[in-house]
Amino acid sequence: MNVYDSEVLKGILFKKGYSETIKPQEADLIVVNTCSVREHAETRAIGRLNELSRYKLENPEIKLAVIGCMAQRLGEKFLKEVPALDFVLGTEELFKLPEYLDKKNEKPLVALSLSRLREIQVLPRRKHICTAFVAISRGCDNFCSYCVVPYVRGPEKHRKVSDIIKEVQCLIEYGCREVSLIGQNVNSYKDDGYDFADLLREVSKTDIQRIRFMTSHPRDLSPKLIQAMAFLEKVCEHLHLPLQSGSDKILDKMDRKYSSEDYLRLVDSARSKIQNLSLTTDLIVGFPGEKDDDFQKTLEMVDKIEFDSAFMFKYSPREGTKAFLSEDDVPQEEKIKRLQALIELQKDIAKKKNQELVGKTEEVLIDGKSKRDKANWKGKGRSNKTVIISKEKENKDLFGKIVKVRITKADSFTLFGEIEK
């Protein structure tokens, strides 16, 4: 969501005549978008902002803005952490940055309004992107006990189907081939009788070539949505379904509102209906009260389900959440040990699953050059796995093309292959 917000804000600023620079000393405006999900991200953001403050001290004309979840969470307090700030704009105020820039502000401006039901109309976006996020909703009503999102992004709000379609069409005109429909919980999407499966069908009717979505809350993953994924050709066979823990006791403390059995049933149903489904997840270790046998249950679930990949984290207490009131009783060393064991297990599973694809063909949308070898193109398969394409070093411009790639090699994180001639 932060990537999307930054992208949209960039589009609005470009329309106002701004252009992008990667050199802070050349900038008139420096914007840092922030995440509050983990403490580590917040500490890094403060460090980065203080580092960037020196450009403002050298040239007071430069405007320094912090936007997003952490701005929403800290508000005025941010000015104590980073005194050089000109703007602290929360998660719904950030799109108004260009308006605020036009006003003469003697003092730093802190704007955190969350009360309005915000309609995001069709927004200016960057040209020449082959894949783009499109927010279909904002905020969350779930209040999982560890999560700060409902507090910093406010209650769930859904965009109109017609506005989403207009934004997709605008992206198609800019050359976009794939959209990822995003929201904190896309499965609960509703607009005027349309649910998320209906929205996928409507987006499928446009000329976009591939559709992805995230994130799905297991409680709201309906049989209708699984059917839609199975039958709508443009919808990629990738489902990101956060499990968080394999222990029912911990899932209950997390207020996730499903059991490990419910989750397994969903996985069976999705795998039986959607061919070649790629399944990914999020997992937290060291949640308050997590004993060794709870953690073993997480390992067992991961072993049983065999996810294609997983985002794995140590529990990070967040002030204001329900879990913050419980003692953070799993020692740091134990959290690290559990996380390492989980990562090792998942790495082996991912490697095995990726190697099963060797010799098979993946449909890849090429989105740029490989970081390791700039001569090689890279892209994403329908499974959302990164594919590096070798032996295509001639100057042919493949950016934005969808090609068939025969997989020749795989490790835990990446597939390697050659374009089928």
> Which residues sit at the interface with ligand SF4, rule CB under 6 A?
140, 142-144, 147, 149-150, 184-185, 217
**What is the nearest approach in angstroms of ligand SF4 to the Cβ of residue 217?**
5
**What is the nearest approach in angstroms of ligand SF4 to the Cβ of residue 288?**
16
User: What angle do helix axes 260-273 and 292-305 make, rounded to 10 degrees?
Assistant: 10
Query: Can you read off the two tokens belonging to residue 171?
Result: 């992206």
**What is the nearest approach in angstroms of ligand SF4 to the Cβ of residue 137?**
11
What is d(CA 379, CA 344) in angstroms, rounded to the nearest whole number?
25
By beta-carbon proximity to ligand SF4, the closer residue of 136 and 149 is 149
Q: Which of 65, 83, 48, 84 is nearest to 5 (CA)?
A: 65
By beta-carbon proximity to ligand SF4, the closer residue of 216 and 354 is 216
Q: How many residues does the chain have?
A: 421
By beta-carbon proximity to ligand SF4, the closer residue of 34 and 354 is 34
**What is the nearest approach in angstroms of ligand SF4 to the Cβ of residue 163?**
22
By beta-carbon proximity to ligand SF4, the closer residue of 286 and 381 is 286
Task: Give residue 45's Cα distance to chain centre.
Answer: 18
**DSSP element (H, E) containing 284:** strand 278-285
Please identify which residue in the block is written with the tokens 């989980």.
Answer: 342
**What is the nearest approach in angstroms of ligand SF4 to the Cβ of residue 143?**
6
By beta-carbon proximity to ligand SF4, the closer residue of 242 and 400 is 242
By beta-carbon proximity to ligand SF4, the closer residue of 266 and 364 is 266
CB 314 within 8 A of CB 328: no
What is d(CA 92, CA 113) in angstroms, rounded to the nearest whole number?
7
**What is the nearest approach in angstroms of ligand SF4 to the Cβ of residue 279?**
18
User: What angle do helix axes 196-204 and 161-173 make, rounded to 10 degrees?
Assistant: 30
Computed over its alpha carbons, how large is the radius of gyration of the chain? 22
